[in-house]
Amino acid sequence: MPSIIERKGRGAQSNRTGRYEREEREPADDGWESAAEPLPGENRTQVSVDSARKVITRNDSPNIGFDRSINPYRGCEHGCIYCFARPSHAYLGLSPGLDFETRLFAKPDAARILRKELARPRYRPDTLVLGANTDPYQPVEKRMEITRQILQVLAEAKHPTCIVSKSDLILRDLDILAPMAKERLVSVAISVTTLDRTLARRMEPRAATPKKRLAAIEGLAAAGVPVGTLFAPVIPALNEPELDAVLAAAAEAGAERAGYVLLRLPLDLKEIFKEWLETHYPDRKKRVLDLLRQAGGDRLYDSRFGHRQRGTGPIAEILSVRFKAACRRLDLKNKGDFALETGLFRAPARDGRQLALF
């Protein structure tokens, strides 16, 4: 097992080799305690260009209520230890551990490419999700503004859009979102996983604080943007006891809807999450993992459609009952998505240039 070190400002505790690599690298203590020290530049964020040819990603998953999304960034500096997108970094020959939150890939041409995709004659609009995989408002967005440029294209085309984030940076774009909301073209879900500042700092080291996320809900609601909250993921015996308190705080801030997802631990994420528990909550590690196995049919993760987001068995049933009861008490909608307008779509003007004859 890779050396477990608490790294300030990062979620992952190691940079374990991706599952597709032929060789596995592991730090070793040479007697001079070098293995206990981060390597030079290890905590520094690096951003490279992702030269994507398409930006709209399609899916046919029966577990989610949309079929298309855009991720302006690959990897996420928020460093959330539970992020189900971590294993995707292995496709790049990188680690789902520290690499996922320090070696990012941005799509600076995303808006231009999106415009071309929306202009295709066969394109038909439906709700497009920003933030389905990694957060579109992670820290690097503050200077790169790729998400903002994408929103400008979507607003111009009057394309229905749903945004999922855990950042108050979204308030920067109210000048785009508020007019879209008036035409029922946008809805937002702000993820609030805990009200405990210490737990949040360990679990989501570079994400906005719980207080700022609630302020984001309040700001969006005040601007007339339909906003809900996601209590996701639910980690038994860790943040799970806060379910009622988080939903109450979100409702008070102005959330109209709520959802939840049980912690998912696909592929490499299992060991990364275990390392994190061992570092920060060794006394709860066994209890958390035992409860997850109970909800996963004796496995840490049940990947079957219809089970992966809610779990099965008594633990999952109790969680569902608690969630629905809290939503009824707080008058939060918990079924279906906010219905967005698709009939206003107008395709962007196509590039009028023609190929040369010779």
Provide the pLDDT for residue 3.
Answer: 47
How many C-beta atoms surround the C-beta of residue 334 within 10 A? 16
Q: Residues in the chain, how many?
A: 358
Q: What is residue 103's three-state secondary structure? A: strand
Beta-ladder partners of 229:
190, 258
Residue 130: name the closest of 61, 211, 185, 206 by CA.
185
Beta-ladder partners of 129:
69, 162
What are the residue ranges spanned by the domains of the chain? 48-330
Tell me which fold the domain 48-330 belongs to. Answer: pyruvate-formate lyase- activating enzyme (3.80.30)
The residue type at 69: S
The answer to whether the pTM exceeds 0.75 is: yes
Q: With a cut of 50, which residues of the chain have pLDDT below it?
A: 1-3, 36-37, 40, 352-358
Provide the pLDDT for residue 306.
Answer: 64
The residue type at 95: S
Tokens of 205: 């080291």
DSSP-derived pairing of the beta strands 68-70 and 57-58: antiparallel
Provide the pLDDT for residue 354.
Answer: 44
